[in-house]
Structure 1
Amino acid sequence: MSIKIKTILIIASLLTAVSTFATRQKADTTYTFRFVPQKDMFYVPLDGNDRELARLLECVRRNKDSILGGSLPLYVDGYCNSLDSEKENLRMAAIRSNRVKSELIVRGGIKEECFITKPHAKSHAADGDLVIVRLTVPAPEASAVESAGLSKAEEERLAAERAEQERKAAEERRKAEEERHAAEKAEADRPAKEQAARQAEQPQEITATSLESPSSAPYHFALRANLLRWATLTPDLGLEWRVHPSWGILVNGSWTSWSWNGKDRRYALWEVMPGVRYYTGKEKRGYLGVMFKAGEFNYKLSATGKQGDLMGGGITGGYQLRLSDALSLDFNVAVGCLHADYEKYEVIDGVRVRAGKETKNWWGPVNAGVTLVWKLF
């Protein structure tokens, strides 16, 4: 009978010791963080992650010395089963674990050596996209709480305040991360958008060019008449061929023969003047070019007449003023050199009498015109 009593007392003592130890030692504390399938970004506000993170940071704060000392490691298990292969799932699980550890290192002030990490390609739960952090935390002695001078309600209030602060900070980090991702995506998409914009503008440019007025489009052939020559009773006609929108080849010819006062006065000449022009500007109105002039003349406007030939050339420039779709005025001037060989003569009793021969070179303006241009096509 005494043996049975002793046995019962021993068992009761063991049960009491186990109960006392259990009251002083907590089971593993577990914190679960959820992730979006196939994504590695740690969204703190997702599915209560902010509350779990606040609880975990509070636990880390209370036990920081033990964690840094190595007596209280944090077990980090990453899970992923939303990708196609086991290798991809393990890689994703490891990245997610590192995301959670980075939050704890930065905000909790602990080190990489405080973690024991293991990725998993499968999960024991229906949702396989998560990270679980576990650590075994000794239960606080009642005297420790009393010595802190804080009631349970006061501790809960402080914990709630810290959780709210952590939540706001996490929300700010999430927004900053989203803005950074949006900026990176916009920068990556910028070349494609610029290329699309250029392609979209190209048809508009073609359309605008096709809708230009006929006057701004270069002509191919045009008939020309120098009105200054016509004003001096010297008929003048010419033709221009635009071999290119910027290049033109032209030739003008003049001829006249007048006599009066019983043929004692005379004004006669013929000239041929070819040239090449380069048109400038958007509408190809202004131009620069070169010209050549050759001809013969017979002037007797006083007692002595002059009869001979001339040759020369120079640089020409001008501008075409639009009058209508088919007509323009061409203002031009040429500067260069003219060489003239001629004989002087007098008329005595109706007979020309030679009075000498001369040669002259003239440097300066060699041609001027206000030319009417009629665009044929």
Structure 2
Amino acid sequence: MKKTITGLLLLFVLLTLAAQEKPDTVYTFRFVTDKDMFYVPFSGNDKELARLEACVERLKERIFAGEIPVRVEGYCTSLGSEVDNLAMAKIRSNRVKSELIIRQGLTEACFVTKNHSGSGDYVTVRISVPKVATAAQKDERQQAGQENADTQQPMEEQRETEESRFVAEQIRADSMVVVHPEAYVPAETTGTAAEETSGTDSYTLSLRANLLRWATLTPDLGLEWRISPSWGILVNGSWTSWSWNDKDRRYALWEVMPELRRYMGKEKRGYLGAMYKAGQFNYKFSATGKQGDLMGGGITGGYQLRLNDALSLDFSVAVGCLHADYEKYTVIDGVRVRRGTETKNWWGPVNAGVTLVWKIY
């Protein structure tokens, strides 16, 4: 009988302990090297996020009451300097917090954030539940002469309570504005995390120089604005004016080429786009010269090869149609003599480039 009663009591204690929340649970979310976006399906992040949501749902009242802070720690080790690593870690921490704010309705005051340079490319979320003494533990302390132990908090619970009182002050000093639902759509709601979230080139301004045009002594410069992870607006301009052989030979032109691009793939390196070109030219490489206007457009495609954090090579080609209206002329005793006009339409390659891209910010 004594063995049976002892066994039942032991089983009751074990079931009571099993039913309690784990006192310290850590959830780890992995990030792609050099990326700041939170890809939910990546490397098991979706399962980890589901576990975290279930835990937050159970403890939401205590989290809002300030009893249980949600501790978020961001890590980055892949960038060149400690300052850059800390900045990247901060962004990653806020990506994870934004998911909890959107999905579970938490507020910024629920979090305690710390960011680190080094150790990897991930974010951890730690939920520490204050330990609650069981009836058996209280009886043991009473038998040991600790009559008031059942009314005193353990040291760890006291530290947790004290830290939770300063959650709001700490979070203001070590966090940045969290993305609102209108500005950031969780990857699971779209089903295309790799396409709708961005790499490091998103929302940046870049300076461009087409090396093929420079090789033909035609200075070429441009700007690109990545208005979103998948879309970019850019414009390139070229200008040159050369004459030789006592001005009997001539090579001059100016062109402006705006373009709209759609970047594709997980890394957002390949793209398709639409371009338009307009300008004027003056060519005289033989006895007869041609001077006039051109315009046209086409479909562009290409790939950006990353060199480092700031530089890339953009390989591109455009196929479409160019329309040119021009005059033919000869030069007699230094005077241009008109020899008629012509109009031509050209179908085929209308532009090509090996462009050096420098990300300004």
The interval holding the TM-score normalised by the smaller chain is: 0.3 to 0.5
More helix as a share of residues: 1
Larger Rg: 1
* TM-score normalised by structure 2 residue count: 0.48
